[in-house]
């Protein structure tokens, strides 16, 4: 029987724990071929922006902070956006979030704020709805045209700062800062572009970043900071055409036996990036939220049997969080990222939970897609800054602001 927290098929392809044997590389070679035209299109588009033939539009009088990544899904971008929004609000800024609203049923642009009646997840998307609920003072702008949203934020609502959610590839809107979120536990995965690997852009695009937001693993976050050099990292980085080593897929995945902290060199991905500041963070559970919306301490579900319900790109982190909270993980109902749960699927989940004598538990992002009346306990996450807070405050323009942490 497959373990309940075993990696999904996509995770096994994108984030292999060891070098792939040639038989596996041959089996996946059709995906490699499909990745070539995608990589070529990304390269051409990036070259046009770099050459100034495509130009980013600047909205004067509006500070734009982009938060994005190069991996597809599951790096921890939404908690980062939420934390940044909270810090900006606490400093007295008039803040908005510009987001596409992935997975929603309409393309009509809309705006809302958490202190007013909220649209459904089908209309707004799950992540915008989560952000509005958690940070109700921030105005959300949902739509594909982020430039138009930026002008609207400035002209209609008098905002002075916006967070460009998932903005690293959205180069049409000029930004003051480019934060790139990286999950230390997986790095750049197998180093391939989509659909063979998790990369939306080649790793060289990380040079555009103005700040790296590193999500530390649970074990590395507890380690004592050390400036030790990584064995083998420099050697890999200095190899000719190191980025083209398709067989050595494990080289871009951080390993637990490396003697160096991942944050010091980003696992050797970008040896020329020493001048780009890093902020190292830890995501940790701060509370359980029961079906009535009441907050409970993180110990509330210790030794309790649970069934995990999630529609995430990489659900492994959520399942590990449940184990770290001491729950008895009986079963998991896992779906694709941003999945719209059907009534039949939810009835099946409830029936399985009853058979297991377990409570259904889920993530905050999944909870906003559940119908009213569906009983599930929700894990609430918070962000802790481990290192580089001064870099973060400088990038946010908060050097002289009172500290919110």
Mark the binding-site residues for ATP, compressed into ranges: 71-78
Collect all residues with Cβ–Cβ distance below 8 Å to 92 and sequence separation of at least 6: 401
Nearest partner of 389 among 378, 403, 375, 370, judged by Cα:
403
Question: Which tokens sit at 113?
Answer: 């704020």
CA dist., res. 207 & res. 186, Å (int) = 19
Angle at 167 between CA 162 and CA 172, to 5 degrees: 90
Cα 318 to chain centroid, rounded: 13
Please count the residues of the chain: 405
Q: CA geometry: angle at 181 spanning 98 and 227, to 5°?
A: 150
Let me know: does 69 contact 199? Beta carbons within 8 Å. no
Cα dihedral sign, 366-372-377-380: positive
**On the CB side of 66, how many CA atoms lie within 13 Å of its CA?**
24
CA atoms within 13 A on the CB side of 387: 20
Report the binding-site residues: 71-78
CA-based nearest residue to 338, from 123, 9, 102, 175? 102
Can you name the residues that pair with 335 across neighbouring β-strands? Answer: 311
> Which residues, in sequence order, are CB contacts of 149 under 8 Å at separation 6+?
98, 109, 111, 141, 143, 162
Residue 216 neighbours by CB distance under 10 Å: 22
Q: Could you list the beta-strand ranges (E) of 69-129.
A: 95-99, 110-113
Burial class (CB in 10 A: 0-12, 13-18, 19+), 345: middle
Q: What is the end-to-end Cα distance of the chain in Å, rounded?
A: 45
């Amino acid at each position: 029987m497959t373990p309940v927290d075993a990696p999904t098929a996509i995770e096994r392809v994108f984030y292999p724990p060891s070098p792939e044997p040639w038989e596996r590389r041959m089996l996946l070679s059709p995906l490699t071929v499909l990745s070539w035209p995608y990589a070529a299109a990304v390269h051409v588009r990036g070259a046009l922006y770099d050459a100034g033939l495509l130009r980013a539009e600047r909205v004067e009088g509006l500070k734009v902070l982009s938060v994005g990544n190069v991996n597809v899904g599951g790096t921890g971008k939404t908690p980062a956006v939420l934390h940044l929004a909270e810090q900006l609000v606490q400093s007295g800024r008039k803040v908005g979030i510009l987001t596409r609203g992935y997975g929603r049923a309409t393309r009509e642009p809309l705006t809302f704020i958490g202190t007013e009646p909220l649209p459904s997840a089908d209309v707004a998307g799950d992540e915008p709805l989560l952000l509005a609920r958690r940070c109700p003072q921030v105005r959300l702008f949902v739509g594909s045209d982020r430039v138009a949203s930026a002008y609207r934020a400035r002209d209609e609502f008098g905002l002075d700062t916006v967070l460009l959610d998932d903005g690293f590839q959205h180069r049409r809107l000029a930004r003051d800062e480019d934060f790139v979120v990286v999950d230390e536990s997986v790095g750049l995965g197998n180093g391939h572009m989509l659909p063979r690997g998790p990369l939306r852009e080649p790793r060289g695009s990380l040079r555009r970043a103005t700040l790296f937001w590193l999500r530390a693993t649970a074990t590395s976050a507890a380690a004592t900071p050390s400036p030790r050099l990584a064995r083998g990292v420099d050697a890999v980085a200095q190899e000719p055409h190191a980025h083209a080593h398709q067989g050595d897929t494990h080289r871009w995945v951080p390993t637990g036996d490396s003697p160096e902290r991942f944050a010091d060199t980003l696992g050797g991905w970008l040896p020329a990036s020493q001048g780009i500041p890093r902020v190292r963070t830890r995501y940790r559970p701060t509370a359980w939220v029961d079906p009535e919306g009441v907050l409970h301490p993180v110990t509330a579900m210790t030794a309790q049997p649970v069934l995990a319900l999630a529609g995430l790109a990489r659900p492994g982190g959520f399942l590990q969080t449940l184990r770290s909270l001491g729950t008895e993980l009986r079963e998991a109902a896992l779906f694709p990222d941003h999945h719209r749960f059907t009534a039949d699927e939810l009835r099946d989940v409830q029936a399985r939970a009853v058979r297991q004598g377990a409570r259904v538990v889920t993530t905050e992002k999944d909870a906003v897609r559940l119908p009213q009346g569906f009983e599930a306990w929700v894990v609430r996450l918070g962000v802790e800054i481990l290192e580089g807070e001064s870099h973060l405050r400088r990038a946010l323009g908060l050097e002289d602001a009172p500290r919110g942490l």
